[in-house]
């Protein structure tokens, strides 16, 4: 992809995925990699920060003798996601105006 993904957009993408269902870290990485270029080493600091900001909760589930850490969006996270979705629509509309030539000086 020619356009880099900034921190706010990455946060919004993570919250949007988790708004559908709880997901463990590796599964989240794989899901996002299908759409954007992201590595686990990029994603885990984002998850920790979103957890610190109380947008996410974590819990462990046993799987084949090991624990998987699952991430779950909080109500505060859902509110932040609504804010991101509103901002994204406004941003996308404005960029579309420029890219399609609807914007004039």
- Whole-number CA gyration radius for the chain: 16
CATH code at position 13: 1.10.10.10
pLDDT digits (tens, 9 = 90+) for 19-46: 999 999 999 999 999 999 888 888 999 9
* 10 SS3 class: helix
58 in a structural domain: yes
In a domain, 1, yes or no: no
CA angle 54, 57, 61 (to 5 degrees): 170
pTM given for the model? 0.89
The reply to whether 105 falls in a domain is: no
Retrieve residue 68's tokens.
């998987």
Closest C-alpha to 15, from 73, 89, 86: 73
Could you list the residue range(s) of the whole structural domain that residue 41 is in?
7-99
The total number of structural domains that make up the chain: 1
2 belongs to a structural domain: no
Render pLDDT for 58-103 as a digit per residue (tens, 0 to 9).
999 999 999 999 999 999 999 999 999 999 999 999 999 999 988 7
Beta bridge partners of 63: 66
52 found inside a domain = yes
């Amino acid at each position: 992809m020619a356009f880099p993904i900034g921190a706010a957009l990455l946060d919004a993408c993570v919250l949007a995925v988790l708004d559908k269902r709880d997901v463990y870290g590796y599964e989240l990485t794989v899901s996002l990699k299908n759409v954007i270029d992201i590595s686990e080493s990029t994603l885990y600091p984002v998850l920790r920060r979103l957890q610190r900001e109380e947008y996410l909760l974590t819990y462990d589930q046993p799987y084949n003798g090991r624990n998987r850490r699952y991430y779950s969006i909080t109500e505060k996270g859902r509110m932040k996601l609504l804010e991101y979705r509103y901002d994204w629509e406004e941003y996308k509309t404005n960029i579309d105006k420029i890219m399609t030539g609807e914007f004039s000086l």
